[in-house]
Amino acid sequence: KNEVEQSPQNLTAQEGEFITINCSYSVGISALHWLQQHPGGGIVSLFMLSSGKKKHGRLIATINIQEKHSSLHITASHPRDSAVYICAVSGEYGNKLVFGAGTILRVKS
């Protein structure tokens, strides 16, 4: 059974700061997903990674398969980035996602 741990649980940043959210998992995976959940509750997929690094605008996601660790970075953070960021993984032999508890990010102006 895969355990997904995220840190920090809560993060408050000033506008413009560089933000890093970490995710670690316990067993082998086929893919790792970074998701964003806004107060209304809907979930938006940000990245799906199986190796290396991906970048979309101010968001960067990296994964180290050997260390079973991924990071999500936000450059030049903005109040509109305030949301819950969730890491989720799919196992080597299945398609279901196992979710982390999420990181609550608040960016103050």
Partner 1 sequence: EPEVTQTPSHQVTQMGQEVILRCVPISNHLYFYWYRQILGQKVEFLVSFYNNEISEKSEIFDDQFSVERPDGSNFTLKIRSTKLEDSAMYFCASSEAGSVYGYTFGSGTRLTVV
Please, which of residues 37-56 interact with partner 1 by CB under 8 A?
40-45, 48, 50
- If one asks whether residue 33 binds partner 1 (CB under 8 A), the answer comes out as yes
Under the criterion CB under 8 A, does residue 65 sit at the interface with partner 1?
Answer: no
Residue 77 beta carbon to partner 1: minimum distance, rounded to whole angstroms: 24
Strands 103-108, 10-14: pairing is parallel
- In angstroms, the CA 24 to CA 3 distance is 8
Residue 97 interacting with partner 1 (CB under 8 A) = yes
Residue 88 as a binder of partner 1 (CB under 8 A): the answer is yes
Does the N-terminal peptide bond of residue 8 adopt cis geometry, omega within 30 degrees of 0? yes
Number of helices (H) and strands (E), helices first, in the chain? 0, 11
The binding site for partner 1 (CB under 8 A) comprises 30-31, 33, 35, 40-45, 48, 50, 86, 88, 90, 94-102
